Structure 1
Amino acid sequence: MCVRWPRLLSPTHLSQLIRRQKNPLTALDLFNEAQTRYPSYRHNGPVYATMINILRSSGRIIEMKEVVNRMKEDLCPCRDSVIAGVIETYMDAGMVEDAISLFKSLPEFNCVNYTRSFHTLLEKLVRDSKLETCCQLFVEHCRGWEISSRMYSLNLLMDVLCRMRRSDLAIRVFQEMGNQWCDPGRETYRILMRGLCNDGRLSDATQLLFLMFGRISRKGCGADVSIYRMLLEALCDNGDVDEAVEILGKILRRGLRVPKRYFKQLDKTQFRVEDVKSLINEALIRGGVPSSDSYRAMAVDLYSEGNIVGGDNVLDEMREKGFRSSPQIFEAKIAALFAAGEVDRAVECVRNDMIENGCVPTVRVHNAVVKGLCDAGESARAVRYFGTMSKQVGIVPDRETYVYLVDGLCCDGDYAEASRVMDKMVMSSFWPSDEMYTKVIRGLCSTGKTFTAAVFLEEMIGQGKIPAASVWCSLVSSVVCREVLWKEVLFVTLRELEN
């Protein structure tokens, strides 16, 4: 290892040194060697954070765990975000017990606040459907002074209870928020309203709506529209159309506080049972005070439900009123179009619709198109779209872009193009995962491109990754098959020459 060490080593210099290493194990060796070369030197928090993040991103979990333990023994100040990243890595690798054990041992670390670590652990437990463990962990640790904000964790607990079809317990959590010095926000009402409607507790949901009027609803607050709509549609699905229309009138008066000249739109004779939902949506859009928040909330909800026509109507209304659309709306629309199999419309949505609405596509929007094309089996088209996307000013493809492309090309069997995309990924300083290397190398071997596969294998080993046995088997099989083939060709050629 040829490294030019300075006369005096500072933590900043060491961080820069290990960050420049391509192989994470080489970076770890430099990290360990520093204190041997410089007896008076001590690692600080940023150096530990840099080393842990390098090992995390390369999948070196065992080595990362050792560095975390050293940080604990050194009593080095560490940031909450570093521990949250380690917990996330453990959970993604299926090491649930290690993640919980690390969180419970945080008092032994020199970390004064671990709110983000707590929230990350609860999020991942909910994602993995370990709901009982999540509830138990919340009860044990929610009152600790190290958790600076309980609002997010309380919302997460209510969401867990609602998923477990225990909205009755979620209501009790909601009622206890005042004792926890927490002020329920819009997301709290949205979670609880969804849970009550799914459980069929429409009477409690109606009372929650009236409570919402007095607490968080403000004049012209369009972000509340999606919550109102949740209850109204649940009442319609339950057959309580008249009650839904009556509550709609109260929403317009007390929630959105519409001027009286708009109340003529609430005549019950105008509503028909077969299309009452669309009429309610129209009343909420046109009857309320126009705002970008209300249009965005309605459009995203409709597109998320697959109602493309309804979402387009909201966009048209929004444009007529002079409001500018947001990338979030078009991201939802693109996902809905791909789900409906309308691939061409989804691509044209970015090229035409967004420009017509005065909205600039973001990397997230472009990634949604790339992912949709790859999922639809049109990875070659996704590569062409990627080329156009890369030429746009201000648009820099991120790691997700390359991951979607490589996965899509491998699924379509175009391993040669996948290898070229992965080359661009490495040149952009995004390191492929072990799984991605394995998939491309095995695919190249299956198509006879042994040399390219060997180059990627060498690059994989150079990054300190350990190839799976299947990778070696594929490479050996490809080489042997090529030798057998050449021998057969040579034998046939010699026999023809003899004849």
Structure 2
Amino acid sequence: MQALRQQASSSSSSPANLLSTLISSYALYNCDPTPISYHFVIKTLIKTSQSHYIPPVLCHLEKDEKFETPESIFTDLIEFHGENEEFQEAIDLFFRLPDFRCTPTVDSLNCLLSVLCKRKEGLEVVPQVLLKSRLMNIRLEESSFCILIKALCRFKKPKNAISLLYHMVDHEIDIDRGSFSLILLTLCQQNDLKRNEVIDSVEEMKKLGFCLDRADWVNVIRFLVRRGNGKEGLEALSEMKSDGFKPDVICYTMVMDGLISERDYEGVDQLFDEMLVMGLVPDINTYNVYVNGLCKQNKFDDGIMMLSSMEEIGCKPNTITYNTLLSAIYESGEVSKASDFLKLARGKGVFVNSRTYDIMIDRMVKEDDMSEALDLLKEMVSKSMVPQPATFDEIVCRLCKNGLFSKAMNLLTEMMGKNVLPGCRSWETLLVGLQIEHSFNEINLSAMETISAKNSNSISS
């Protein structure tokens, strides 16, 4: 082996001669090459990016040697084929193992499964591989099922993964609780599954011995709340406590948010009080959710008082907190109150972001105060903030509705020069408005083409 390594590392030796180097280095000592020497040669060829010289080495190993070839040589090769997405080569090599006097085990099968499960097209041929592997007397183990379950979950096929759990039970193979949790997480992340499909799947897994832990309950609660089932989220929270798991602030916040969406404000207050009794300290997200609930009830004064309470306990309100209140006050039509609140926020040094400007501009447009809306837009852009296309569209459409087509065109040209892109509604409204105001031939198409060209360049950049 020492002689082989020296010759392989020699500058005069080439990968093409590595096989002959292998044979000659052992012939010098009147002995035959060992499995370790073949493994070294193959790894060297892979390392030096000379894999096209591997087939002759394998051919010599198959036809001219008599020893039982270790399985580890082929697992390395299967992994190499997998890294190069040579799935068929990996499959062919696995089924050729007996030709090399190698008895395939679950180790090489798992290696092949890991390779195939990296890509969806590889996963599709796994059933055929498993059928053929049974003829080779290879029995699937828990590790094999874990590989398959992880792959099915990665490709968003949790129901197929549940089917594998039944196979494991039928073959008396222990199920790792991590597999249960992974399937549950995948189910809860699916947007195309109905609520009852997920709940029924959870019940199926419970019958197979699955007991939810704290993280599992969190995933279930998040799923229910996201689907608008806040009261069911509250029930899940109760079951979580019954199972001996103490919910954290995140759990309470999620359920409170779900109850607000169902207008169960009394339940929100009870949960908030319960959280405090349990010694949990609400974080900024909890307070933002609670303030949103107050705003839904038009309790703006209570919401503003909550800001002071937050500051007293060291939880400083953020821009989201102020934007939530500002948007709700504007939505109620109390513009003067919103203006006073905005002055309060600015006086406290609160950062006014693009969302804040979008809220103010939207209200000014609804109030038909276009002068203030345009001033806010220009102030926003001057601070390098980009309005939402919908916000810009509202301004353009309102100007056109008021018959101010020239002003809308000038605004569009000015904003395009500052890389503010309009939405489709702006273009449609301007085109329709110009056709109403002028005949088609009188429309300044060259100006429109200039703006369109700027739009295209901005998008491509």
In structure 1, the partner of 2:153 is 88
State the partner residue of 2:228: 165
Question: What pairs up with 1:255-266 in 2 under 5 angstroms?
Answer: 256=315
Three-state SS of the structure 1 residue aligned to 2:247 is coil
- C-alpha distance after superposition, 1:64-109 (max 9, x if no partner): 23445658961334077523332225536xxx65343124333337
The one of 7, 13, 18 equivalent to 2:73 is 13
Specify whether residues 110 and 171 from structure 1 end up closer, same or farther in structure 2 by C-alpha distance, changes over 3 A only: same
* SS of corresponding position for 1:25: helix
1:24 and 1:58 in contact (8 A); partners too? no
1:369 maps to what in 2?
none
The yes-or-no answer on 1:29 pairing with 2:92 is yes
d(CA) in 1 for partners of 2:93 and 2:122? 16
**2:303 is the alignment partner of 1:236:** no
Aligned-partner Cα distance in 2 for 1:334–1:65 = 54
Q: Distance in 1 between matches of 2:457 and 2:118?
A: 32
In structure 1, what is the equivalent of residue 441 of structure 2?
Answer: none
Q: Structure 1 residue aligned with 2:140, among 75, 88, 111?
A: 75
How far did residue 60 of structure 1 move?
2.6
Identify which of 126, 129, 143 aligns with 1:64: 126
Amino acid at match of 1:168: K
Label 1:140 to 1:146 Cα distance change in 2 as closer, same or farther (>3 A).
Answer: closer
Of 235, 250, 257, which aligns to 1:194? 257
1:100–1:121 Cα contact (<8 Å) kept: no
Matches of 1:25 and 1:334, distance apart in 2: 53
Cα offset, 1:32, TM superposition? 2.0
How many Å apart are 1:239 and its aligned residue?
0.7
Distance in 1 (alpha carbons) for counterparts of 2:356 and 2:167: 48
Instruction: Report the number of matched residues.
Output: 294
**SS in structure 2 opposite 1:178?**
helix
Distance 1:43 1:257, change over 3 A: same
How far did residue 336 of structure 1 move? 9.4
Q: Contact 1:52/1:68 (CA < 8 Å) preserved in 2?
A: no
- How far off its partner does 1:194 sit? 1.7
Query: 2:127 & 2:348 partners in 1: Cα distance?
Result: 53
Q: 1:81 & 1:99 partners in 2: Cα distance?
A: 10
1:24 positional shift? 0.5
Larger radius of gyration: 2
Query: Is the 1:165–1:195 contact (alpha carbons within 8 Å) kept by the matching residues of 2?
Result: yes
Gaps of 5+ in 1: 259-270, 287-297, 311-332, 347-375, 382-499
1:319-468 → structure 2 map (5 Å cutoff): 381=461
Q: Distance in 2 between matches of 1:206 and 1:284?
A: 28
Q: Give percent identity, aligned residues only.
A: 13
* Distance change >3 Å, CA 335–CA 28, structure 1 → 2: farther
Match of 1:2 in 2: 55
Q: SS in structure 2 opposite 1:177? A: helix
Distance in structure 1 (CA, Å) of the matches to 2:344 and 2:71? 62
8 Å CA contact 2:79, 2:112 repeated in 1: yes
Alignment of 1:475-490 (within 5 A): none
- Where does residue 156 of structure 1 map in the other structure? 219
Tell me how far apart the structure 2 counterparts of residues 102 and 20 of structure 1 sit (CA, whole Å).
28
Q: Give the C-alpha shift of residue 133 in structure 1.
A: 1.2
- CA gap 1:85/1:217 in 2 versus in 1, 3 angstroms: same
Query: CA shift at 1:58, angstroms?
Result: 5.2
Alignment of 1:42-191 (within 5 A): 42-44=105-107, 48-57=110-119, 59-67=121-129, 70=133, 74-78=139-143, 82-88=147-153, 91=156, 97-107=159-169, 108=171, 110-124=173-187, 126-142=190-206, 150-191=213-254
Do the aligned partners of residues 166 and 272 (structure 1) sit closer, same or farther apart at CA in structure 2, a change above 3 Å counting?
same
Offset at 1:174?
0.7
CA contact (8 A) 1:236 1:277 kept: no
Contact 2:253 2:286 in 1 (8 A): yes
